[in-house]
Amino acid sequence: MNWEWSAVSDFMPKFWDGVGTTLEAVVLGSLISFALGLVWAFAMRLPTRFVRWPVGFITEFIRNTPLLVQLFFLFFVLPEWGISFDALTTGIVGIGLHYSTYTMQVYRAGIEAVPPGQWEAATALSLPLRRTWTAVILPQAIRRVVPALGNYVISMLKDTPMFIGIGVLEMLGEARLESADTFRFVEPVTVVGVAFIVIAYPASLLVRALERRLVR
């Protein structure tokens, strides 16, 4: 293998641009998935089936179709109906929407894990429903699900290379562009692979440490 450090140094400006795009997508996509997942979880607990059934169908459909297909739909099909976003915004919305169906299940598990006595105590104290959720249920539920949510953030990071399908130049996209210009594939792809490890591994250690702390 003919490794050239000069190819690495030439790639680094584009690489840092890709890192910024990747981290922006992960952070904003995570916020969307966390917020929307909680909305899905609340909707699935409503007593009326006219809300639960459509929400259940939509979330199951999203969860059981590939993320790349959803990105293509959002980027290439929605503009035919007059709805269009730039490539990065489409990627962020797509990955946030996709993972919200997984975080919904995490929230549901956390809510169901709250002991029934907590609900009974809130009822006995005549707490309003909003107060019951914000002061009693959600603080206990979210504490249980934080590690699982952290794992999904890492999964989002590893799924960002799919953005290249709609033209977003995240880390791998920048590497492929550099390789097409210079015909040097080893250096850019290797740098990106190492970068994913450098970012994801400390994040996984942080999630494990947080999980141990919450258990104590």
Each residue's pLDDT tens digit, 137-194: 888 888 888 888 889 999 999 999 999 999 999 999 999 999 888 888 899 999 999 9
pLDDT score of 131: 87
pLDDT score of 215: 64
The total number of residues written for the chain in this structure: 216
> Domain count of the chain?
1
Q: Tell whether 127 is covered by a domain.
A: yes
Report pTM: 0.90
Q: Tell whether 203 is covered by a domain.
A: no
How far apart are alpha carbons 119 and 140 in whole angstroms?
12
Each residue's pLDDT tens digit, 93-139: 999 999 999 999 999 998 888 888 888 888 888 888 888 888 888 88
Provide the pLDDT confidence category of residue 48 given band limits of 50, 70 and 90.
confident
Q: Tell whether 54 is covered by a domain.
A: yes
**Residue 30 maps to which CATH number?**
1.10.3720.10
Q: Tell whether 132 is covered by a domain.
A: yes
How far apart are alpha carbons 62 and 192 in whole angstroms?
29
pLDDT score of 136: 86
Residue 134, C-beta contacts closer than 8 angstroms, at least 6 positions apart: none
Q: Tell whether 212 is covered by a domain.
A: no
How far apart are alpha carbons 146 and 63 in whole angstroms?
20
Q: Tell whether 215 is covered by a domain.
A: no
Q: Is the pLDDT of residue 59 over 70?
A: yes
Q: Which domain holds residue 130?
A: 20-169
pLDDT score of 118: 87
Q: Which two tokens stand for residue 27?
A: 């952070």
Q: Tell whether 64 is covered by a domain.
A: yes
Q: Tell whether 145 is covered by a domain.
A: yes
